């Protein structure tokens, strides 16, 4: 009996203490909320994060490319440092993006000055005021009677002449740009066309529409009033979070699509119709990285007969195409098996056959496990592949009228 009473008394004391502690925690929470409400987090965080104003030139960033094509600090000689300001990832990312825009312009300059390519505006009949894109072509791109090479990059922030921005900044120009491909192609007598599949829209600052603001007369409608109140509450919660995560408000931007070039697939098709197919070259060769492979397969689906009659070989590098999802016909799949090779990221040595995921075109190792490096690592093999494909085609053309498909098969033992 005494034990039961003691146990009951102990339980009562424990519950009372828990209630007091809970009350204390509640009061502390209320006090903390009150304190936070008095702090202007926007101003507090702005003091921690520098303004999002960055230089507009490499010199302004105090970086330059050395003789080896490596980006180095002009004073320290050190490689690019992403984490320039510790614990300010967003600011560092914005700084990296600003440098990336400068890199894009720098590559354009190299294409024009060093590679002697010229810019062709798209659409070809664009008016002065509408959004425009462009590609780069060599002087003989449309007049070369023998052969041309077309370069198609992957998706993302990269623009004409680039394989990977990260490689340009952290490695060198050779691995990250298409410049070595362009120079080698010109040395071997190819005309060159460099596509720009990610330049799909014009970015402009969004202008708020006063007409979309709620009318003051709507305040007498209870349902809408409730909705607006909920919207305001949700906005307060969102703004509270944004003040911490994104203290400096950025301009709202909108994208105006470029006519007939609003996606990588549209751009590739347009470039084929207005430039590639109009070339005098009897032999067309294509290098397509990552999403560029998907864009090429889409081109085949839409221009199958034209592509088959003139494209001799396609070198894909870690292509993300999928003949099933893209609904490529059996005839296209057969053609890909005969005229295409995909150099994929793999730990195996360069040119080692890799088990195919789909039975559409042969897959060989690019000699690297890094996706963005596959084009550069397979550089020599791609030119050899093209040379063999052209030789096979010429041999078939000069032999008997009846030719076999096997003569076009990829000779992996030659790599």
Q: What percent of the chain has pLDDT over 70?
A: 74
pLDDT of residue 195: 98
Distance of alpha carbon 96 from alpha carbon 75, whole angstroms:
19
Residue whose pair of structure tokens reads 């560092």 in the numeric block: 92
Q: Which CATH class is domain 118-201+258-414?
A: alpha beta
**Distance of alpha carbon 278 from alpha carbon 306, whole angstroms:** 11
**Residue count (the chain):** 415
Q: How confident is the model at residue 348 (pLDDT cuts 50, 70, 90)?
A: very high
Tell me the C-alpha distance between 183 and 295, whole Å: 24
Tens of pLDDT, residue by residue over 98-141, are: 999 999 999 999 999 999 999 999 999 999 999 999 999 999 99
Q: Which residue has the higher pLDDT, 109 or 255?
A: 109
H/E segment holding residue 238? helix 222-245
Residue 209: pLDDT band (50, 70, 90) is low
Among candidate residues 290, 295, 346, 378, the one labeled active-site is 290
Q: What angle do CA 98, 99, 103 make, to 5 degrees?
A: 120
Of 213, 150, 51, 92, which is closest to residue 382 (Cα–Cα)? 150
Residue 131 is predicted with a pLDDT of 96
| pLDDT recorded at residue 327 | 94
Question: What's the pLDDT at 192?
Answer: 98
pLDDT given for residue 41 in this prediction: 47
CA 218 to CA 199: how far, in whole Å? 43
- Mean pLDDT of the 300-326 span: 97
Structure tokens at 16: 């009372």
Q: Using the predicted structure, report yes or no on whether residue 328 has a pLDDT greater than 50.
A: yes
First to last CA, the chain: 93
Q: What is the percent of the chain where pLDDT is above 90?
A: 64
The residue whose two tokens read 């990588």 is 264
Q: Is 264 exposed, middle or buried (0-12, 13-18, 19+ CB in 10 A)?
A: buried
Using DSSP's 3-state secondary structure scheme, residue 318 falls into coil
> Which residues, other chains included, contact 240 with Cβ-Cβ below 8 Å and sequence gap of 6+?
41
290 is catalytic: yes
Of residues 284 and 46, the one with the higher pLDDT is: 284
Reported as type and span, the H/E element at residue 47 is helix 41-48
Distance, in Å, from the CA atom of 285 to the CA atom of 383, rounded to the nearest integer, reads 10
Which of the residue ranges 156-165, 213-222, 229-238, 341-350 would you say has the lowest mean pLDDT?
213-222
CATH 3.40.50.1820 residue window(s) in the chain: 118-201+258-414
| pTM of the predicted model as reported, rounded to 2 decimal places | 0.78
Dist. CA 398–CA 109, nearest whole Å: 43
Give the mean pLDDT of 298-307: 98
3-state secondary structure of 283: strand
The single-letter DSSP state of residue 405 is G
User: Would the pLDDT of 218 be above 90?
Assistant: no
């Amino acid at each position: 009996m005494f034990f039961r009473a003691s146990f009951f008394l102990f339980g009562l004391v424990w519950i009372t203490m828990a209630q007091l502690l809970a009350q204390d925690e509640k009061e502390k929470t209320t006090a903390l909320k009150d304190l936070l409400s008095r702090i202007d987090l926007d101003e507090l965080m702005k003091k921690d994060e520098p303004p999002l104003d960055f230089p507009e030139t490499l010199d302004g960033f105090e970086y330059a490319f050395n003789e080896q094509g490596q980006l180095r600090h002009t004073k320290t000689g050190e490689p690019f440092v992403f984490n320039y300001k510790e614990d300010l990832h967003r600011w560092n990312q914005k700084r990296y993006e600003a440098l990336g825009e400068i890199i894009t312009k720098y590559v354009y300059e190299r294409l024009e000055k060093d590679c002697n390519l010229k810019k062709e505006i798209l659409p070809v009949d664009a008016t002065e005021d509408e959004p425009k894109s462009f590609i780069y072509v060599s002087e003989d791109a449309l007049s070369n009677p023998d052969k041309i090479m077309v370069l198609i990059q992957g998706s993302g922030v990269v623009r004409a002449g680039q394989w990977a921005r990260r490689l340009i900044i952290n490695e060198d120009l050779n691995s990250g740009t298409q410049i070595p491909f362009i120079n080698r192609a010109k040395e071997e007598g190819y005309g060159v066309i460099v596509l720009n599949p990610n330049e799909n829209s014009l970015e402009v600052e969004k202008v708020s529409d006063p007409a979309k603001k709620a009318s003051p007369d709507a305040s007498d409608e209870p349902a809408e009033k409730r909705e607006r109140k909920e919207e305001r509450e949700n906005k307060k919660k969102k703004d509270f979070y944004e003040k911490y995560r994104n203290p400096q408000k950025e301009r709202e931007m909108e994208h105006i699509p470029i006519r007939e070039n609003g996606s990588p697939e549209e751009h590739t098709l347009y470039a084929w119709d207005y430039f590639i197919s109009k070339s005098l070259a009897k032999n067309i060769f294509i290098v397509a990285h990552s999403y560029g492979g998907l864009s090429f397969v889409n081109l085949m689906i839409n221009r199958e007969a034209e592509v088959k009659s003139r494209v001799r070989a396609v070198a894909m590098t870690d292509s993300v195409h999928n003949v099933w999802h893209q609904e490529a016909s059996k005839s296209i799949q057969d053609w890909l098996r005969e005229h295409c090779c995909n150099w994929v990221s793999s730990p195996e040595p360069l040119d080692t056959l890799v088990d195919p995921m789909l039975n559409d075109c042969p897959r060989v190792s690019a000699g690297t496990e890094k996706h963005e490096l596959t084009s550069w690592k397979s550089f020599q093999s791609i030119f050899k592949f093209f040379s063999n494909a052209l030789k096979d085609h010429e041999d078939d053309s000069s032999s008997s009228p009846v030719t076999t498909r096997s003569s076009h098969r990829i000779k992996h033992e030659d790599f």
